[in-house]
Amino acid sequence: MSYTTEGQPQGIPSKITNFIRESLISEIVAINQYNYHINNTSCPPMVKLWKHIRDEEIRHFSMFSELLRKYDPVQLKLYEETKGHINIDFTNCYSLKSATKINIPGAIRSDIKGELEAIILYEDVVKHGKYRDVFEVYTEITTEEKEHFEELSFAIMDYDRDFGIRPGCKGV
């Protein structure tokens, strides 16, 4: 399995559980990227959009985690054994605020790339899937990833008039 920049999975798994694991990796990459953008920009409209998308990516991660445990009995067993053993007290824990500022158009373009890679990965699972519940979860998440693409495309148009959706363009 190989990875593109920022860890987007690009392998060809042969088991449904590994398709799901690739999808989990994709969601973690997206969550981390959106958190980085949120914490390193002072543009309130973009922070609001990134938080909206990030929250959906977190929900996708949970949905994929449930599927993984359903189809991998070892994973489910380990989940059941582990769920009561990890209790971290975050009272004295904090994140350091970075002085880094991001290039907003570059960040948006990177986000669009990630959404497109996720769509390609997830549509491949749907195409080869033989389990109804897997099909339904991947179809729902793919639709939301396509929505993220559109939201980000409109956002980039506000920064770079030569990039993104052009007014008057319609789908082919």
Domains plus CATH for the chain? 15-159 (1.20.1260.10)
pLDDT values of the chain reduced to their tens digit, one per residue, 172 residues:
233 555 555 556 678 898 899 999 999 999 999 999 999 998 999 999 999 999 999 999 999 999 999 999 999 999 998 887 877 776 776 666 667 778 888 899 899 999 999 999 999 888 877 889 999 999 999 999 999 999 998 888 777 666 545 555 444 3
- DSSP per-residue codes, 22-91: HHHHHHHHHHHHHHHHHHT---HHHHHHHHHHHHHHHHHHHHHHHHHHHH-HHHHHHHHHHTTT-----T
Whole-structure pTM value = 0.76
What's the pLDDT at 156? 82
